[in-house]
């Protein structure tokens, strides 16, 4: 036999010996040569053989074989592309495709791939039984399973944290709303208790002194005068409290009306102090009033502004300790007229400066003060001043007194207005 036949027989023997037990029942035997014995379209490409052992009976040993060599260029150019593009995921092409399928030869070179950019694979398996020396490889386009897994992990981590954040935010909001509701409920019930007390005390005093006077049990003219003064003071306090309550409810319902007129702020202050001074002085207070000369008028609601001033004076009295001094000052400050009420009382901590203007709010009772009140006084003051286009300032430190300043915009003098008017016309 010629050398080609010898080589074929060798090839057949090698292929039958290399058969795995699982392939023992197959009729055909496949073999892939390392080097070519035939002239082939792909120079030097080893052919693939299919051998059919020839036997006389099913259990007989083969006495020879018939076979054929497969054309590799056909396999590479037509058979594999067709096979892979029909397989699931194999139809994807290009560098972005999800799944890359490739066939590698015995030197790990690509025989065929559906993705040109790919060069590392996740799994490889023998392309048996036909191409025993080749491998079928698969991987994910442009990425590895590890990268894909860590990417997925990162995405789900971000999602989990976002959900957690939203959840925590929700819980935070609910807790805040609940705390606010509780605080409001507490302040409301404290308000009811305080207002009842505020209403009852002056009424009880008025009744007591009126009865004493009625029964003529007063020892001296001076004592009678004192009793009348108490009755007048207490009824004034009652009126002020009721005014505040009515004002507050009107403001809350949006029904509060103001009647603005051009007036002198200094005059309003002097009028209020005229009626209030006697009571202050007889309760042991030293009251000073300082008014700057030639102040411009302002557009004000007299009653509302008097009420705001009375609330400030009332607080100055209520929250003064041993040092009973109240200083009222009216002066120009920039475009505004500043109305100051200063006392030397218990003062207010910095952290409370904003809250004291909230409705029902009272600085913590007990250690700070035991004075009763509705917690509406400053809320009403703030509303009145803001309705005038102004604002309220507070300067205060615990132990060194407080100064409340109402800033009300002044009206421009007529001459100045005319000047401005002509300038605009020019």
Which chain residues interact with ligand ADP by CB under 6 A? Answer: 315-316, 318-319, 343, 345-348, 356, 361-363, 373-379, 402
Rounded to a whole number of angstroms, the minimum distance from the CB of residue 196 to ligand ADP is: 13
Shortest CB 193 distance to ligand ADP, Å? 12
- Hey, what are 4's tokens? 């080609």
| Beta carbon nearer to ligand ADP, 140 or 191 | 191
Residue number of the CB atom closest to ligand ADP: 373
Minimum distance, C-beta of residue 258 to ligand ADP, in the bound complex (Å): 20
Q: How far is CA 215 from the centre of its chain?
A: 68
The 10 Å Cβ neighbour count of residue 260 is: 14
Give CA angle at 183 (177, 189), nearest 5°: 135
Between 231 and 356, whose beta carbon lies closer to ligand ADP?
Answer: 356
User: Which is closer to ligand ADP, CB of 85 or CB of 288?
Assistant: 288
By beta-carbon proximity to ligand ADP, the closer residue of 363 and 410 is 363
Q: What is the CA radius of gyration of the chain?
A: 51
Helix (H) or strand (E) holding 199: helix 145-214
How many CB atoms are located within 10 Å of the residue 73 CB? 12
Please report, for residues 128, 129, 343, the alpha-carbon distance to residue 19 in angstroms, rounded to integers and kept in the order given: 10, 9, 109
CB nearer to ligand ADP: pick between 200 and 223: 200
Cβ proximity to ligand ADP, 195 vs 231, nearer residue = 195
Alpha carbon distance 407, 336 (integer Å): 6
Instruction: Provide DSSP, 263-314.
Output: E-HHHHHHHHHHHHHHHHHHTT-EEEEEE-TTPPPEEE-HHHHHHHHHHHHH
Helix ranges (H only) for 345-395 are 377-387
Q: What is the 3-state secondary structure (H, E, C) of 127-190?
A: CCCCCCCCEEEEEECCCCHHHHHHHHHHHHHHHHHHHHHHHHHHHHHHHHHHHHHHHHHHHHHH
Q: How far is the CB of 356 from ligand ADP (least distance, A)?
A: 4
Q: Residue 249 Cβ, how far from ligand ADP at the closest point, in Å? A: 15
Q: How far is the CB of 200 from ligand ADP (least distance, A)?
A: 15
Least distance in angstroms from the C-beta of 319 to ligand ADP: 3
Residue 11 or residue 402: which is nearer to ligand ADP going by CB? Answer: 402
């Amino acid at each position: 036999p010629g050398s080609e036949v010898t080589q074929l027989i060798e090839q057949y023997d090698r292929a039958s010996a290399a058969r795995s037990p699982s392939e023992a029942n197959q009729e055909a035997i496949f073999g892939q040569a390392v080097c070519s014995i035939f002239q082939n379209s792909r120079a030097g490409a080893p052919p693939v053989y299919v051998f059919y052992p020839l036997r006389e009976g099913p259990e007989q040993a083969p006495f020879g074989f018939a076979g054929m060599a497969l054309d590799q260029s056909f396999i590479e150019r037509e058979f594999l592309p067709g096979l892979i593009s029909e397989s699931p995921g194999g139809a994807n092409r290009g560098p972005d495709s999800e799944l890359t399928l490739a066939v590698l030869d015995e030197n790990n070179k690509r025989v065929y791939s559906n993705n040109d950019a790919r060069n590392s694979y996740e799994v490889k398996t023998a392309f048996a039984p036909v191409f025993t020396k080749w491998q079928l490889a698969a991987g994910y386009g442009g990425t590895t399973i590890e990268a894909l897994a860590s990417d997925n992990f990162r995405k789900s981590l971000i999602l989990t944290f976002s959900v957690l954040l939203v959840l925590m935010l929700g819980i935070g909001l609910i807790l805040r709303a609940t705390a606010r509701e509780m605080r409001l409920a507490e302040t409301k019930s404290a308000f009811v208790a305080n207002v009842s007390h505020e209403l009852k005390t002056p009424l009880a005093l008025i009744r007591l002194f009126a009865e004493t006077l009625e029964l003529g049990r007063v020892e001296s003219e001076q004592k009678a005068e004192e009793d009348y003064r108490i009755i007048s003071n207490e009824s004034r306090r009652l009126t002020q409290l009721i005014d505040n309550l009515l004002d507050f409810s009107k403001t809350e319902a949006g029904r509060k009306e103001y009647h603005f007129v051009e007036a002198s702020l200094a005059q309003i202050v002097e009028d209020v102090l005229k009626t209030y001074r006697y009571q202050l002085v007889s309760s042991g207070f030293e009251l000073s009033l300082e008014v700057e000369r030639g102040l411009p008028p302002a557009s004000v609601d007299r009653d509302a502004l008097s009420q705001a001033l009375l609330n400030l004076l009332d607080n100055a009295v209520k929250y003064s300790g041993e040092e009973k001094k109240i200083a009222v000052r009216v002066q120009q400050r920039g475009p505004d007229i500043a109305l100051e009420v200063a006392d030397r009382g218990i003062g207010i901590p910095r952290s409370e400066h904003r809250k004291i203007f909230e409705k029902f709010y009272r600085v913590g009772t007990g250690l700070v003060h035991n004075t009763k009140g509705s917690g509406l006084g400053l809320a009403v003051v703030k509303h009145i001043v803001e309705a005038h286009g102004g604002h309220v300032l507070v300067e205060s430190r615990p132990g060194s007194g407080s100064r409340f300043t109402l800033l009300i915009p002044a009206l421009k003098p007529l001459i100045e207005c005319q000047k401005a008017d002509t300038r605009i016309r020019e």
